C-alpha cells in the first residue's frame, strides 16, 4: 500500500510551449515547507513523458525512460520556505495534457533514504481550466430519441405499449443453457448493481421471463417476445440467452430510474444479433497493475456492453504480471517498481514498492468468470520487444558479448529478446507452455511490435545468424524469432495474435495468425487486402487512452490525436471495404493503454462512455445507430470506479 506523501515538501510544475521561437519549457518547483534546511539531496520524478532533456538548475544522476533522478547543485541549501526550481528546455518536448507531466515525485537523501512528496497536478500556460476527471456525463436527449434504455441498440425493435417498471426479472428456466445463463445473470447484476435487485423470483413479484433454447437463432443472437405479464427469451446458446437478459435488465433500469423518459413494453418483440464476431477490449495491466477484483469488475462492464473478447496485456518494459512456475524471478523482480528496486519508480509511482501480479489461481477464476459472461480472455506476452522487465528478471538471456546499446521509442535500453540466443527460445517454450495450459482461448497474442530498427546490431551472435540466413537487418532477425514462436504455439493448438508490425515477417503462416491493426484504419484495410485476418483498433479512434479533447485540462495521451465520445461513436471502421477485404475482418476492439492513467478518476474519464460507443459499433448495424439516442442512454451504463465528472 502506498504511503502518504510528506506534506512538508510540495512539488508543482508548469509547462510553457514554444512561443516566438523559444524552446518549450517545463519547470519543476520544489517547496520546502518544513522547519529544516535541506542539503545533499536529489529529486526523483516520473510520469509518462521523459523530462531528462536540457536540464538546468540540477544534475541528472540516474535515468530510465520516464524515471529521472536530479541532484541539487553541490553545496545548495534549500532553506525553510524556499523553492528550488529545475527547468527542462528542449525541442523534443511536446506536452499536450496534464497527465503528460510529472505525476509522482520523491526526495532522495544522501544516505539513499527516500520519501514521497506531495505532487500537485501539472499546469500549463495555455489553459486556466482545472484538470478534468471522472466519467463524462452526456446530456439527456428528448424521450422520443431514446424510448428504451438499451446499449448497444438492437437491430430490430418492434415493441409497443407501456407499463410500470417491473420489480425485477423472475427467470424461469427449462434446460441447462437457461440454468447457466440465469446463474451468470444473477451474479452479474449482483456485482454491478448490488442495491437494485434486478433479479427477483416470480413468487416475489418478479416479471416472468421464460428462457427457451432454440436452434433457430445464430450464436450470440436472441429474440425477446413481450406480453403484459412476461417475456420469453429465445436463444441457441448461453451467451445469447445472457444478452437477452441483459437487454431486459437495461430496460428495467431505465424505466425505474427515469420513468418520464423511458418505457417498458407490453407487447411486440426484439430480434437481435451482433454485427461483428470479435467485439473486444484490451487492457494494459503491465504499466498499471489492476487487482483481480478490478479486472473481474471490468469483465462485468464488458459483458453489460455485449463485448466478448478481453485482450489482457500482461507484460511490457515496465512490468511482468503473470505467475510462471518455471521462472519465479519474473514476478519476484518484474512485478514490482520502487526506489532501490531493480525497476525504478516509473509513470508516477512512488518510492515504496508498488505493483503486483496475477497468480495462476486468480487467472483461473477470471477465465471462469469470462466464460460465464461469454468473454474469451486472450493473453498477451509482448516479445521480442518491450522486454525490459523480463530481461531485468532474467539477465542470462542477453548476449553477454553484445557491445553497445539501442533504445526503444519509450527510452528503454536494449529491451529486446535476442533471436540468436538459443536460451531465449528455450525460456519462451517454457513460458508459453504454461500460458497455453492456463488460458483455454484458441488465441495467444505475442506482441511483436515496436522493435527498434537498430536492435541487435552490436550482438555478435545476432550478426552471425543474420549472415547465415542471408538477411540484411533487424526485420529479418525478428522474422526468424516470430516464425519460431508461431510454430511453438501451433504445436499447442493455438493461433498466434500479434500487432500489425508482424505482417512484415517474411514466411509467417498467415493461416495461423491474426493481427490487431493499430496504426490506422487504412493500414488495417491494406492488411486485409493482403490476406491477413485482422481486428481493427486504430489508435486515432479506438485507443481509449487518447484524450477526449485537445485542451490541457483533459487527461490522456495525444500521439495519435484525440477523439471525443461523439467522434468515436460516429466512426465506421469498415466503410469502403470490399467484400474480399471484409472476409478477413474478425471484428473490432478498443485498447486501453495505462501510461496516462494516474488514478481511478482518469481511467473512468478516458474509458466511459467511449467503451460503450465502441461496443455499439461492434454490435449494431450502421443503419440502426443514432448518436442522439446513444447520448441519452450512455449515462445509465456501469463504470469501473464510479467516479463523477469534475
- What is the three-state SS of 490-521? HHCCCEEEEEHHHHHCCCCCHHHEEEEECCCH
Q: How far is CA 294 from CA 191, 298, 332, 384, 426, in A?
A: 12, 6, 22, 29, 34
CB 124 within 8 A of CB 16: yes
Helix, coil or strand: residue 385: coil
Q: Write down the pLDDT at residue 3.
A: 61
Could you check whether the bond before residue 152 is cis, i.e. omega within 30 degrees of 0? Answer: yes
Q: Write down the pLDDT at residue 371.
A: 98
Could you state, in order of their start, the residue ranges of all structural domains in the chain?
6-124, 156-272, 278-636
DSSP 194-213: TTS--B--GGGTPEEEEEEE
Helix, coil or strand: residue 109: coil
Q: What is the pLDDT of residues 509-551, one digit of tens each?
A: 999 999 999 999 999 999 999 999 999 999 999 999 999 999 9
Q: Write down the pLDDT at residue 146.
A: 85
Q: How many residues does the chain have?
A: 646
Q: Write down the pLDDT at residue 216.
A: 86
CB 380 within 8 A of CB 311: yes
How far is Cα 424 from Cα 594, in angstroms, rounded to an integer?
28
- What's 171's DSSP letter? E
Q: Look up the CATH superfamily of 278-636.
A: Glycosidases (3.20.20.80)
User: What is the fold, at CATH topology level, of the domain defined by 156-272?
Assistant: Chitobiase; domain 2 (3.30.379)
Is 6-124 a CATH 2.60.40.290 domain? yes
- What's 62's DSSP letter? E
Which residue in this structure is represented by grid cell 525490459?
Answer: 388
Q: Write down the pLDDT at residue 5.
A: 80
Q: Write down the pLDDT at residue 6.
A: 80
Extract the residue ranges of the chain whose pLDDT is less than 70: 1-3
Amino acid at each position: 500500500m502506498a504511503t502518504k506523501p510528506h506534506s512538508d515538501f510540495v512539488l508543482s510544475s508548469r509547462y510553457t510551449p514554444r512561443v516566438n521561437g523559444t524552446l518549450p519549457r517545463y519547470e519543476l518547483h520544489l517547496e520546502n515547507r518544513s522547519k529544516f534546511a535541506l542539503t545533499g539531496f536529489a529529486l526523483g520524478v516520473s510520469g509518462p513523458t521523459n523530462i531528462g532533456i536540457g536540464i538546468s538548475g540540477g544534475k541528472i544522476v540516474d535515468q530510465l525512460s520516464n524515471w529521472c533522478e536530479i541532484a541539487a547543485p553541490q553545496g545548495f541549501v534549500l532553506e525553510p520556505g524556499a523553492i528550488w526550481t529545475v527547468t527542462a528546455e528542449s525541442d523534443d518536448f511536446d506536452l499536450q495534457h496534464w497527465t503528460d507531466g510529472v505525476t509522482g515525485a520523491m526526495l532522495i537523501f544522501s544516505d539513499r533514504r527516500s520519501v514521497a512528496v506531495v505532487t500537485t497536478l501539472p499546469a500549463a500556460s495555455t489553459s486556466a481550466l482545472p484538470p478534468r476527471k471522472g466519467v463524462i456525463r452526456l446530456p439527456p436527449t428528448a424521450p422520443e430519441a431514446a424510448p428504451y434504455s438499451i446499449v448497444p441498440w438492437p437491430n430490430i425493435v418492434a415493441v409497443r405499449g407501456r407499463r410500470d417498471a417491473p420489480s425485477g426479472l423472475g427467470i424461469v428456466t427449462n434446460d441447462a443453457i437457461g440454468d447457466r445463463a440465469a446463474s451468470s445473470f444473477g451474479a452479474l447484476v449482483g456485482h454491478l448493481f448490488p442495491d437494485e435487485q434486478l433479479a427477483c423470483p416470480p413468487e416475489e413479484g418478479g416479471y416472468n421471463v421464460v428462457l427457451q433454447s432454440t436452434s433457430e437463432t445464430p450464436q450470440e443472437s436472441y429474440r425477446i417476445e413481450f406480453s403484459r405479464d412476461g417475456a420469453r427469451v429465445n436463444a441457441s446458446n448461453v451467451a445469447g440467452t445472457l444478452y437477452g437478459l441483459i437487454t431486459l435488465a437495461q430496460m428495467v433500469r431505465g424505466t425505474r430510474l427515469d420513468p418520464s423518459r423511458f418505457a417498458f413494453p407490453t407487447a411486440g418483440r426484439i430480434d437481435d444479433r451482433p454485427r461483428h464476431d470479435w467485439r473486444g477490449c484490451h487492457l494494459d495491466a503491465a504499466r498499471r497493475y489492476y487487482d483481480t477484483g478490478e479486472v473481474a469488475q471490468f469483465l462485468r462492464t464488458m459483458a453489460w456492453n455485449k463485448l466478448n473478447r478481453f485482450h489482457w496485456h500482461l507484460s511490457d518494459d515496465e512490468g511482468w504480471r503473470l505467475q510462471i512456475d518455471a521462472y519465479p524471478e519474473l514476478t519476484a523482480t518484474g512485478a514490482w517498481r520502487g526506489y532501490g528496486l531493480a525497476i525504478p519508480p516509473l509513470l508516477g509511482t512512488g518510492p515504496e514498492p508498488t505493483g503486483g501480479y496475477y497468480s495462476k489461481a486468480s487467472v483461473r477464476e477470471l477465465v471462469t468468470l469470462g466464460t460465464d459472461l461469454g468473454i474469451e480472455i486472450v493473453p498477451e506476452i509482448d516479445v521480442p520487444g518491450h522486454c525490459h522487465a523480463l530481461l531485468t528478471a532474467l539477465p542470462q538471456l542477453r548476449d553477454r558479448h553484445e557491445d553497445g546499446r539501442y533504445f526503444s521509442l519509450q527510452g528503454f535500453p536494449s529491451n529486446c529478446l535476442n533471436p540468436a540466443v538459443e536460451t531465449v527460445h528455450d525460456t519462451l517454450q517454457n513460458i508459453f507452455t504454461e500460458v497455453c495450459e492456463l488460458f483455454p482461448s484458441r488465441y495467444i497474442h505475442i506482441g511483436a511490435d515496436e522493435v527498434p530498427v537498430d536492435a541487435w546490431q552490436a550482438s555478435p551472435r545476432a550478426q552471425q545468424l543474420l549472415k547465415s540466413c542471408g538477411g540484411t537487418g533487424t526485420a529479418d532477425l525478428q522474422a526468424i524469432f516470430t516464425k519460431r514462436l508461431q510454430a511453438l504455439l501451433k504445436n499447442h493448438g493455438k493461433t498466434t495474435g500479434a500487432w500489425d508490425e508482424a505482417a512484415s515477417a517474411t514466411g509467417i503462416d498467415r493461416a495461423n495468425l491474426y493481427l490487431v491493426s493499430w496504426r490506422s484504419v487504412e493500414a488495417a484495410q491494406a492488411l486485409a487486402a493482403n490476406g491477413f485476418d485482422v481486428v481493427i483498433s486504430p489508435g486515432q479512434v479506438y485507443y481509449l487512452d487518447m484524450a477526449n479533447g485537445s485542451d490541457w485540462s483533459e487527461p490522456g495521451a495525444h500521439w495519435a490525436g484525440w477523439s471525443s465520445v461523439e467522434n468515436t461513436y460516429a466512426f465506421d471502421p469498415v466503410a469502403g471495404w470490399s467484400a474480399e477485404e471484409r472476409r478477413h475482418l474478425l471484428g473490432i476492439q478498443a485498447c486501453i493503454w495505462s501510461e496516462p492513467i494516474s488514478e481511478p478518476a482518469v481511467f473512468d474519464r478516458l474509458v466511459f462512455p467511449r467503451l460503450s460507443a465502441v461496443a455499439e459499433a461492434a454490435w449494431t448495424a450502421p443503419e440502426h445507430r443514432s448518436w442522439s439516442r446513444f447520448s441519452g442512454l450512455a449515462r445509465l451504463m456501469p463504470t469501473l470506479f464510479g467516479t463523477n465528472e469534475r
